[in-house]
Amino acid sequence: MSLPFSRRYPIGAEPIGDGRTHFRVWARKANRVDVVVETTAEEDPSRTFHSLTPEADGYFAGFAPVNAGAFYRFRVDGDERFHPDPASRSQPQGPHRSSCVVDPAAYRWRDTAWPGVHLLGQVIYEMHIGTFTPEGTWPAAAEQLPELAAIGVTLLEMMPIADFAGEFGWGYDGVDLFAPTRLYGQPDDLRAFIDQAHSLGIGVILDVVYNHLGPEGNYLRVFSDDYFTDRYENDWGDSLNFDGPESRRVREFFITNARYWIDEFHFDGFRFDATQDIRDESEEYIVGEIGRAARAAAGARSIILIAENEPQQSKLVWPKADGGDDLDALWNDDLHHSALVALTGRNEAYYSDYRGNPQEFISAAKYGYLFQGQPYLWQDAPRGQPALGLPPEAFVGFIENHDQVANSAFGDRVRLQSSPGRYRAMTALLLLGPWTPMLFQGQEFGASTRFMYFGDAAGELRDAVQKGRFEFLKQFPSTASRETQAQLPPPADRDTFLRSKLNFAERESSRAIYDLHRDLLRLRRQDLRFREQKRSGLDGAVLGEASFALRFFSQAGHDRLLLVNLGKRFALEPLPEPLLAPPAGFDWQTLWTSESVRYGGPGPSDVVTDRRWILPAEAAVVLEPRRAVDPRRSPRKQEASEEC
C-alpha cells in the first residue's frame, strides 16, 4: 500500500497532521493487531480500536484519528490485555502503561550551526541524570552545564535513559529503547538539554544498551519471539537475536533506534555498553552496522562512537577494510586497574594481574591497552587484541566510572581510598596523558558522596537483584566477609539512590581539588604538547620503584617532561637517563606541580639541582625548557697521565 507521506522510521507512531497518526509495528507472531486509543494513560473505558493492515514480513500498519499527546497501546489477536508500543517515543507512567504519541517537529532547535564533535582533544564527563542534581531531571542538569564548560569539559557521556520499570535505577535495564525515561522529564526537556550543551560548545553522547533488555516491562515477546535467542550466553539476561532466523528485522529495530537518537535528539554519538555480550556472527557485525547508520543519520555532523569491551577486542576501532567495525574509541580498563592498584594497594579479584608500577603507566601512555593478547591469569586465558598502531586518543582513560566506583564495597570514591598526594599525582597523569581523559560526575571537585548500585525492584526480583549484586562483590576478599556483606547497601532501598546524589556545595568546601582539575584541564587545553596527543612524540622511562617520567617531544625544543612519583621522596643521583636531558641550549624549570598549596599540597620544592634531581613524595611535576643563562660548567679535565 502506498502512503501519502514518507515515514521517518519503519516502526513507531508518527503524527502526519490533519488530526491523524500513522502506526507501524513488527508483530510476526500475530494474526491481527489493533491500535487501542485512550484518553489517559490509566484504564480508559472510552477507548477506541483501530485495526492495522497486515504487511509483508510480519508488519502491521495503519492510521488512527489522533494527534501528538494521544495515549495508545496495541491489542494482539483480540487479547484483552493491551501492550505498549515496542518503539514508543514516550511512556509517561512507565513501561507497563500506555504509550504516548510524540511530535518531534514541535521542538524548535537552536543548534543548526552545530558541526558535531571529533574525538581528538575531547575531555569526557560521565553523568547519571538521576543523581547528578538533587532534582534528578534534565532541566536541573542543564543549569550546571555552564560550569562544566568553564572547567574544560567538552563531551558529556549520558548514562542510559531508555525507560525502565521502577522509580530509580542506573538505566542499564531499559525496556522501551525509544522512550526517554519519564523519571528525568519530558522528551523535549532532553532536547533542550542537548541544545543548551551545544550552545556552550559541549557535545553529548548517549550510553546505549544493545546487549540485553531489562527483566521487567519487556513486552517484545508479545509481538515476536524472534527478538531473542538461546544460542548465546549472556551475563545479564537473554541474548538478542542479531544473526539467527528472522534477525533482519531485529537488526532493523536497533539500527532504527540509533538513527532516532541521532536525528531526533541531536546526540553526538554513542557509548556502546558491554559489546562482548552483543553476539553476532553475521558477515557485518551489528555494532559496526549501527555505527555506520548513525553516522549517515548525522549527515554533515561528526559523531563519536565509543565501545566498552571487557575482553579488549581492538578490532572494534579498526577500519572496516581491515576487518574492523569503524568505531572511534575504547574504554581502557587496563589503565584504571593499574591506577587503582597504585592508589590503594589492592590487587585483588580482577585487579590481580596488575601491579600499579611505573612501567604499566608508561606502556599505557605509549600503547593503550596493557593486555593485547598475552595470558591473563584472572581469567586463565589470553586477553586483548593487538592495538599497537592505534592513536592515543582511541583509548578513553579514567580512574573513576560508574561501575568501578560502585564496585567498591560502599560506593566510595577512589580519592577516599588513597592518600591526598598520590591522588593529586594520579589526577595529573590522567588529565595530561595522551589518551582521551574521562571524569565521572563529581570527580572534578572530589565528591565525597558515594555512588552505589541502585535499582528499584519489588518481590522476588528485588531479592534476586540484591543476591546477585552481593555475590558479585564476593570476588573481592575485602568485601566477602560476613561482616561486610551484612552492611552492604541494598540496591532497591531508595536511600541507596538518594545517598548517591551529588552535593554541589563541595565545589567550595573542596576548592583545592576543584582547582586542581580546573588548572590541569586548562594546561591540557592551552599547552600544545599535551593537547596534540601524538604517540610518535611521546616516550617514557622508569626512574624508581614508584616513579617515572613521560617526555612529550616537540619541535624547536619546546618539550614537556611529566614526572610522577607515587612513593616516598626520591633523589636521582646519578641521572643516566637521556629522557631527562634538556634540549640543547636549555635548562629545565617547573611549569606546574601538584605540590602547590593551592591544591592542598605542602608547597613546591626544587626538583632540578646542579648535582641531582629530587622528586617530592607522592607528587607530579611538569617541567618545561628555558633558555640557559649561564654556560654549562666544563667537565673536569682528564689527568695528564691518561693522555696519549
Does 640 score more than 60 pLDDT? Answer: no
What secondary structure letter does DSSP report for 13? E
Phi and psi at 562, nearest 5°, equal -100, 115
Amino acid at 226: D
Please report the pLDDT score of residue 638 as a whole number.
Answer: 43
Catalytic residue numbers, as ranges = 273, 308
More confident call, 483 vs 441: 441
Does 169 score more than 50 pLDDT? Answer: yes
Q: For the segment 82-98, what is each residue's pLDDT rounded down to a tens digit?
A: 999 999 999 999 999 99
Taking residues 621-630, what's their average pLDDT? 91
Q: How many CB atoms lie within 10 A of CB 351?
A: 18
* Spatial distance between the Cα atoms of 306 and 433, rounded to a whole number of angstroms: 19
Asked if 238 and 212 count as a contact pair (C-beta separation under 8 A), the reply is: yes
Q: What's the predicted TM-score (pTM) here?
A: 0.96
Does 303 score more than 90 pLDDT? Answer: yes
Please report the pLDDT score of residue 427 as a whole number.
Answer: 98
Asked if 450 and 496 count as a contact pair (C-beta separation under 8 A), the reply is: no
Q: For the segment 418-455, what is each residue's pLDDT rounded down to a tens digit?
A: 999 999 999 999 999 999 999 999 999 999 999 999 99
* Spatial distance between the Cα atoms of 353 and 361, rounded to a whole number of angstroms: 14
* Spatial distance between the Cα atoms of 229 and 387, rounded to a whole number of angstroms: 32
Asked if 262 and 256 count as a contact pair (C-beta separation under 8 A), the reply is: no
Cα Rg, the chain, nearest whole Å: 27
Q: For the segment 538-590, what is each residue's pLDDT rounded down to a tens digit?
A: 999 999 999 999 999 987 778 999 999 999 999 999 999 999 999 999 999 99
Go through the domains of the chain in sequence order and give each one's CATH number.
12-106 (2.60.40.10), 124-466+494-517 (3.20.20.80), 537-627 (2.60.40.1180)
Pick the closest to residue 8 from 103, 94, 134, 140 (CA basis). 103
Asked if 91 and 161 count as a contact pair (C-beta separation under 8 A), the reply is: no
Pick the closest to residue 402 from 100, 160, 192, 568 (CA basis). 160
Taking residues 311-322, what's their average pLDDT? 96
* Spatial distance between the Cα atoms of 45 and 265, rounded to a whole number of angstroms: 35
Please name the helix (run of DSSP H) or strand (run of DSSP E) that holds residue 464, with its range, or none.
helix 459-473
* Spatial distance between the Cα atoms of 434 and 580, rounded to a whole number of angstroms: 19
- Grid coordinates belonging to 1: 500500500
Pick the closest to residue 334 from 383, 264, 292 (CA basis). 383
Q: For the segment 44-96, what is each residue's pLDDT rounded down to a tens digit?
A: 678 999 999 999 999 999 999 999 999 999 999 999 999 999 999 999 999 99
* Spatial distance between the Cα atoms of 289 and 267, rounded to a whole number of angstroms: 18
Q: Coil, helix or strand for 460?
A: helix
Q: For the segment 371-420, what is each residue's pLDDT rounded down to a tens digit?
A: 999 999 999 999 999 999 999 999 999 999 999 999 988 999 999 999 99
Q: For the segment 194-230, what is each residue's pLDDT rounded down to a tens digit?
A: 999 999 999 999 999 999 999 999 999 999 999 999 9
Looking up cell 577512589 gives 414
Q: How many CB atoms lie within 10 A of CB 494?
A: 12
Amino acid at 48: T
